[in-house]
């Protein structure tokens, strides 16, 4: 891997995200070659100064760095089949969403492979709030870091190519947990005509206050030394009432039931006196459900 030409890049895949990535590279002044299965998606980028390649191999050979962003890992494998030897000596940064195992399998196909997880939606790319997680070849990442930073803040996590996907899904888990709880709350107060926008006056500071307890929760998860300020046995009873109240208001408790099930399992496993952090113990058993 050399960094002598690190300012040029190729983008394979020009869907909503791939186009945003190519636009950000062009805006940052990096000469950019693009390719997409449906050629018409390259037109606006060519108008912005990109060079359109007619084949995957031609696109890859145009730059020392190729960024791929397709619908899924299967499409990336197909693309690599099409690329032949073009990647030899070049760096592949895969920003397609996939599992850690997908990333590790793809890494076996390219010598200089970096996987990435994009923590942003297309309009955020190139802006101050975009974050991209990377893992895989540290040498390749370091050589192309200046170009990659034009997409958003770049955070390198380590040599295991699966790490970026793992962190990506862990962050998404936090996000979906928050949205699930907030949507259940809106549905609940909505049964009495309270608009979600009005309820936010209470909900948002409450969630902020709960988020501020995460450092303590995380310490308990790491140490296995769980606090007992809000014992799970007490919380499980409270959540049972929450479920009953939801049903009585005509709201399905579907988003809350899995939390109750884990609490019951933790209590049955002897964690009734522990704080909520002890739920990780139950999850780590990985029992099929
Ligand atoms: N958009 C978003 O908000 C999220 C943010 C977080 C990361 N994701 C992931 O990014 C990947 C691409 O997402 P996208 O939004 O660009 O997706 P689409 O607009 O649907 O574009 C899909 C592109 O994939 C091409 N493609 C599909 N199948 C193949 C194939 N077999 N061979 C070659 N290319 C293929 C498709 O080409 P075409 O249909 O235009 O010809 C598009 O370029 C994704 O992993 C998200 O999870 C985005």
7 C-alpha vs ligand 1 centroid, how far in Å?
24
Which pLDDT score, from 0 to 100, does residue 179 have? Answer: 97
C-alpha distance from residue 58 to each of 9, 121, 203, 227 (Å): 13, 29, 53, 59
Q: Retrieve residue 192's tokens.
A: 């009495």
Which pLDDT score, from 0 to 100, does residue 111 have? Answer: 84
State the Cα–Cα distance between residues 81 and 277, nearest whole angstrom: 45
Which pLDDT score, from 0 to 100, does residue 7 have? Answer: 87
| 8 contacts 59 by C-beta, under 8 angstroms | no
Which pLDDT score, from 0 to 100, does residue 183 have? Answer: 98
Which pLDDT score, from 0 to 100, does residue 54 have? Answer: 96
| 46 contacts 64 by C-beta, under 8 angstroms | no
Q: Which helix (H) or strand (E) holds 282?
A: helix 279-283
C-alpha distance from residue 13 to each of 23, 87, 129, 188 (Å): 13, 16, 23, 42
Atom of ligand 1 nearest to the CA of 119: 6
Which pLDDT score, from 0 to 100, does residue 4 have? Answer: 44
Which pLDDT score, from 0 to 100, does residue 244 have? Answer: 98
Which pLDDT score, from 0 to 100, does residue 285 have? Answer: 74
Pocket test for ligand 1, best of 10, 12, 15 (most atoms within 8 A of CB): 15
Which pLDDT score, from 0 to 100, does residue 5 have? Answer: 47
This model's pTM is above 0.85 = yes
Buried b (16+ CB within 10 A) or exposed e, 249-261: eebebebbeebbe
List, for the chain, all residue ranges whose pLDDT scores fall below the cut of 50.
3-5, 288-289
Q: How many CB atoms lie within 10 A of CB 150?
A: 19
pLDDT, one tens digit per residue, over 47-84 is 999 999 999 999 999 999 999 999 999 999 999 999 99
User: Minimal CA–CA distance to 1: which of 75, 70, 69, 93?
Assistant: 93
User: Which residues have a Cβ under 8 Å from the Cβ of 133 and sit 6 or more positions away?
Assistant: 116, 117, 119, 155, 157, 163, 164, 167, 168
**Residues with C-beta less than 6 Å from any ligand 1 atom:** 13-18, 36-38, 41, 69-72, 75, 78-79, 96-97, 118, 121-122
14 C-alpha vs ligand 1 centroid, how far in Å?
7
State the Cα–Cα distance between residues 136 and 27, nearest whole angstrom: 27
93 C-alpha vs ligand 1 centroid, how far in Å?
15
Which pLDDT score, from 0 to 100, does residue 104 have? Answer: 97
Q: Retrieve residue 99's tokens.
A: 């599992």
């Amino acid at each position: 891997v050399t960094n002598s030409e690190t300012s040029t890049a190729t983008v394979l895949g020009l869907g909503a995200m791939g186009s945003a990535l190519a636009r950000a590279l062009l805006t940052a002044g990096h000469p950019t070659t693009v390719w997409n299965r449906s050629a018409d998606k390259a037109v606006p980028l060519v108008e912005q100064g990109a060079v359109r390649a007619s084949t995957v191999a031609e696109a890859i050979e145009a730059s020392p760095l190729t960024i791929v962003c397709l619908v899924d890992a299967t499409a990336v494998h197909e693309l690599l089949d099409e690329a032949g030897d073009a990647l030899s000596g070049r760096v592949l940064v895969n920003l397609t969403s996939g599992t850690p195992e997908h990333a590790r399998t793809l890494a076996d196909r390219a010598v200089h492979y970096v996987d990435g997880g994009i923590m942003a939606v297309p309009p955020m790319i190139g802006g101050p709030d975009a974050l991209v997680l990377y893992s895989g070849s540290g040498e390749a990442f370091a050589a192309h870091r200046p170009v990659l930073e034009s997409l958003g803040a770049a955070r390198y996590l380590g040599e295991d190519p699966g790490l970026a996907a793992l962190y990506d899904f862990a962050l998404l888990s936090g996000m979906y947990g928050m949205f699930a709880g907030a949507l259940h709350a809106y549905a609940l107060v909505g049964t009495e005509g309270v608009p979600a926008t009005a309820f936010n006056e209470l909900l948002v500071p409450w969630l902020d206050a709960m988020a501020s307890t995460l450092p303590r929760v995380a310490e308990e998860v790491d140490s296995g030394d769980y606090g007992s300020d809000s014992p799970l046995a007490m919380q499980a009873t409270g959540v049972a009432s929450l479920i009953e109240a939801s049903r009585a208001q005509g709201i399905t408790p579907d988003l809350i039931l899995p939390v109750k099930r884990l609490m019951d399992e933790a209590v049955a496993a002897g964690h009734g006196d522990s704080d909520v952090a002890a739920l990780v113990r139950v999850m780590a058993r990985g029992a099929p459900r």
